[in-house]
């Protein structure tokens, strides 16, 4: 079964084609992505109306590009999957309407899938894919969650952020430091020059039991530190790097501590890390050390699949369409808020 995947939840237009008769990386026939980062950078964040308009411009040409790369035509598509949520409602509607229009024209099934389930299972696109069950850390601009994954659609939420997501905190810290958007890579680059011993920022919610996260207090602490440096006339380039290093270390320590607790709590030996922040190299190094101590193994999607992409949507949609799922009565889905634990396993699985 060849499934076209469409991702338009926020500021990336992603398209991919996945073949269920193959496995892992072999099943991915082609993928393409257009990022809107440059367009939104002037505003310091995503402008929903601009995002929706750009998805409309980019989506159909990207679909044709993917089909050409795979040396296939629209008639070779057996099903279509699209991101139904969570995300920006206007952006979601672009993908949903395109998917449903194509599916009706081709006479194939269509299914809206969960954006975070896509991130959760993105490592399944790799040759060295994890087996079920595993613990997953989903860490992006909009979400920070720890999930116990028993099988496709069988997810137990272990903990999540009660306020800002880790990626959102990185973006806000970057803005405080006068860095460009998106902030995560910029903070990480500046932190490389920082002195790790100058400042120590709090590791929020690590002094109590549980697996929930909170980064709003850390954001406030960072702003206070910057203002104190400004007042004393010490906010030079080195001081900014030192603050970036302290902030990054605090976020990473918090994520690592919670992952360690989740592995110990579940007794599992596989850890999947996905979402934009999973590309942070310092985070990967620290998690590798923790997994080595526990004879566990960490799994990541390849670099370009850490952020939003069509491949993860094509993969998840392919698994669920193959199990007989599809949008009921041909009704489009666009669900801006959609808790991951509301998902269910396919009835055929």
Report the CATH number that the domain containing residue 83 is assigned in CATH: 3.30.420.40
Whether 142 has a binding-site annotation, put simply, is yes
- Per-residue pLDDT, averaged over 211-233, amounts to 97
When pLDDT is averaged across residues 305-314 and rounded to a whole number, the result is 97
Are residue 159 and residue 295 in the same domain, yes or no? yes
pLDDT tens digits, one per residue of 277-288: 999 999 999 999
The two three-digit tokens of residue 346, written as one number:
């396919």
In this structure, are 222 and 254 located in the same domain?
Answer: yes
pLDDT at 34 over 70: yes
Count structural domains, the chain: 2
Rg (CA), the chain: 20
Residue 206 and residue 66 in one domain: no
In a domain, 144, yes or no: yes
Q: DSSP characters for 136-196?
A: EEEESSS-EEEEEEEETTEEEEEEEBSSS-HHHHHHHHHHHTTPPSSHHHHHHHHHTTS-T
Residue 139 annotated as binding site? yes
**341 assigned binding-site residue:** no
Report whether 40 belongs to an annotated binding site: no
> What is the distance between the alpha carbons of residues 261 and 345, in angstroms, rounded to a whole number?
26
Q: Is the peptide bond before 86 cis (omega within 30 degrees of 0)?
A: yes
Q: What is the pLDDT of residue 349?
A: 45
Q: 348: pLDDT confidence band, cut at 50, 70 and 90?
A: low
45 is in an annotated binding site: no
DSSP state of 52: H
**11-20 tens-digit pLDDT:** 999 999 999 9
The answer to whether 115 is a known ligand-binding residue is yes
| 308 annotated among ligand-binding-site residues | yes
Residues 197 and 278 occupy one common structural domain: yes
Domain, as residue range, for 147? 132-300
Is residue 138 a known part of a binding site? yes
For 103-155, write each residue's pLDDT tens digit: 999 999 999 999 999 999 999 999 999 999 999 999 988 889 999 999 999 99
* Domain co-membership, 312 together with 289: no
Q: Which whole number is the average pLDDT over 196-204?
A: 96
Same domain, 271 and 174: yes
| 242 and 171 assigned to the same domain | yes
Percent of the chain residues topping a pLDDT of 90: 94
Question: Is 140 marked as a binding-site residue?
Answer: yes
Shared-domain flag, residues 89 and 172: no
Q: Does the annotation list 100 as a binding residue?
A: no
Residue 44 clears pLDDT 90, i.e. is over it:
no
User: In this structure, is residue 222 part of a structural domain?
Assistant: yes
Enclosing H/E stretch for 15: strand 12-19
What was the pLDDT predicted at 312?
98
Does the annotation flag 5 for ligand binding?
no
Q: Based on the domain organization, do 165 and 270 belong to the same domain?
A: yes
The Cβ-side half-sphere exposure at 263, using a 13 Å CA radius, reads 22
**Co-location of 138 and 203 in the same domain:** yes
> d(Cα 323, Cα 333) in Å, to the nearest integer?
19
Q: Is residue 169 part of a domain?
A: yes
Q: What mean pLDDT is predicted for residues 183-199?
A: 96
């Amino acid at each position: 079964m060849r499934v076209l995947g469409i991702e338009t939840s926020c500021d990336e237009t992603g398209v991919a084609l996945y073949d269920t008769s193959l496995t892992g990386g072999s099943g991915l026939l082609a993928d393409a992505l257009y990022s809107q980062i440059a367009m939104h950078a002037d505003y310091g964040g995503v402008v929903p109306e601009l995002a929706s308009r750009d998805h409309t411009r980019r989506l159909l040409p990207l679909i044709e590009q993917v089909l050409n790369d795979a040396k296939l035509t629209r008639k070779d598509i057996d099903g279509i999957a699209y991101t139904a949520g969570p995300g920006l409602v206007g952006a979601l509607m672009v993908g949903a309407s395109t998917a449903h229009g194509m599916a009706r024209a081709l006479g194939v099934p269509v299914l809206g899938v969960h954006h975070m389930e896509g991130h959760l299972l993105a490592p399944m696109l790799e040759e060295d894919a994890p087996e079920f069950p595993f613990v997953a850390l989903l860490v992006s601009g909009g979400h920070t969650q720890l999930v116990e994954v028993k099988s496709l659609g069988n997810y137990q939420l272990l903990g999540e952020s009660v306020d800002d997501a880790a990626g959102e905190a990185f973006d806000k810290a970057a803005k405080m430091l006068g860095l460009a958007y998106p902030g995560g890579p910029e903070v990480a680059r500046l932190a490389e020059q920082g002195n790790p011993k100058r400042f120590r920022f709090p590791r929020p919610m690590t002094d109590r039991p549980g697996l929930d996260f909170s980064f709003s207090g850390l954001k406030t602490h960072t702003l206070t530190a910057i203002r104190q440096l400004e007042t004393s006339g010490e906010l030079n380039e080195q001081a900014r790097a030192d603050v970036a290093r302290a902030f990054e270390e605090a976020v990473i320590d918090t994520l690592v501590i919670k992952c360690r607790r989740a592995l110990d709590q579940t007794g599992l030996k596989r850890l999947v890390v996905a979402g934009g922040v999973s590309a942070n190299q310092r985070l990967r190094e620290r998690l590798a050390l923790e997994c080595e101590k526990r004879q566990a193994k960490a799994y990541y999607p390849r670099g370009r699949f850490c952020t939003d992409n069509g491949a993860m949507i094509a993969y998840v949609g392919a698994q669920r369409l193959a199990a007989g799922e599809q949008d009921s009565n041909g009704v489009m889905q666009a669900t801006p808020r959609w808790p991951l634990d509301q998902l269910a396993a396919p009835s055929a699985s």
